[in-house]
Amino acid sequence: MSVPSRVLLQNLLPVDAATTATSPVDIRIVDGIITEIASSLQPAPDEEVHNFSGAYVSGGWMDMHVHLREPGFEHKETIESGCSAAAFGGFTAVACMPNTNPPIHTRDVVEYIIKKAAALPVDVYPIACVSKERKGHSITEMADLKEGGAVAFSDDGDPVFDSKLMRIALDYASMLDMPIINHEEDLALSRPGHMHEGRVATRLGLAGTPSIAEEVMIARDILLAELTGGHVHVAHISTRNGVDLVRQAKKKGIPVTTEVCPHHFDLTEEEIERRHFDTNCKMHPPLRTADDVQAMIEGLADGTIDVICTDHAPHAVEEKEVEFIYAPNGILGLETAWGVSVRRLLDSGALSLNQLIDKLCVKPREILRLNVPEVALGARANLTIFNTDARWEFTADHIRSKSVNTPYTGTMMHGKALAVFNKGQLVRND
């Protein structure tokens, strides 16, 4: 990583949510600001030069659903290691969930996270708790949390189960113009499930989590959003009926958005059987059916699903190396999101490159009311440089997280994030 005052990035094809350049350009950055965009710029004597040989460049990507584990669980991940994983994956910004210890339920925890990340090349935006201590009994001091720098509210890791509390939270959040991000799960229906409820779970002798446990909560939150006018963001959607519920709500103009993780548009429940109870295939919501996977892709294509995120959830080796029913839910995602997305969505023709950039760069920030970075003169340089044609095997050597719990070790990736530029810092991965 370098922190030069003058940088020249050569041979790049700018792409955004609407257009893709056909001829490469050079981008000159001085003190973190884009000062020139033109073909064949001549390097200055004091300039650091990087030639990317026709790779793409877009505004920096954002993952709006990660677990950085700090404070409290630094044996799994730290803010620094999580940001390193993000930069490797092409992300210049992340929004971190509040299931830490202490939870992100007071302003001082919000400010601690922001301060800890200030010098890192990745922007970190805390998502604060809906309820105090994430216990679901009373709402947090939402206005104070927003003033401290929180960008949304969630009790992620757990749902906001109390419908009255959720209604009150949506009322307050709407006054603050902030979304509530809910982990959609009816615990009475889902417990004690360890994977998707279906034939595979029956064959394996594992208790299943039915799709309806997710769908019931999505339906409830859509109705509450319609009632209050508050913005509900459905976290890590995974079922066909859930996508249909969001699709119909959007048609009615209800303020609801949603996201999907690469593993939910790529892997199915059968991975658990094929990999002989590999705990790196255990997450929540669980891997679903092939039909659900197809529904995720369809939802991305028609705009029902707004965002691609990862739910990056590191766990220590000793926590995952136990019997399947005792292993915690969650996998890494930051390092592999682009390689999986290109293979499953771009190369298949399901989404265009512009649509991918929209879901990785634009929509997350629009949902969180953040400025969207652009490849434009005078803009602060917040950039992701990437290709779509690289073919490479993801190995443990590519993991930048402090943990290693991923089902993608040994998997061929399509496309690679080559570098990120943010806060005047260039991080190269090639």
Q: Which of 26, 155, 311, 358 is catalytic?
A: 311
How many Å apart are CA 115 and CA 9, to the nearest integer?
A: 29
Residues in the chain: 430
How many Å apart are CA 29 and CA 159, to the nearest integer?
A: 44
CB contact set of 2 (below 8 Å; sequence gap of 6+): 48, 425, 426
How many Å apart are CA 183 and CA 284, to the nearest integer?
A: 9
190 and 242 in contact (C-beta within 8 Å)? Answer: no
Q: Is there a catalytic annotation at residue 155?
A: no
CB contact set of 10 (below 8 Å; sequence gap of 6+): 26, 41, 49, 50, 51, 52
How many Å apart are CA 172 and CA 112, to the nearest integer?
A: 24
CA-angle at 359, arms to 375 and 310, nearest 5°: 115
With 0-12 CB in 10 A as exposed, 13-18 as middle and 19+ as buried, what is 101?
exposed
Q: In the numeric block, which tokens belong to residue 126?
A: 């805390």
Beta bridge partners of residue 385, listed in sequence order:
57, 419
Beta bridge partners of residue 427, listed in sequence order:
420
With 0-12 CB in 10 A as exposed, 13-18 as middle and 19+ as buried, what is 212?
middle
How many Å apart are CA 218 and CA 116, to the nearest integer?
A: 34
Q: Which residues are catalytic?
A: 311
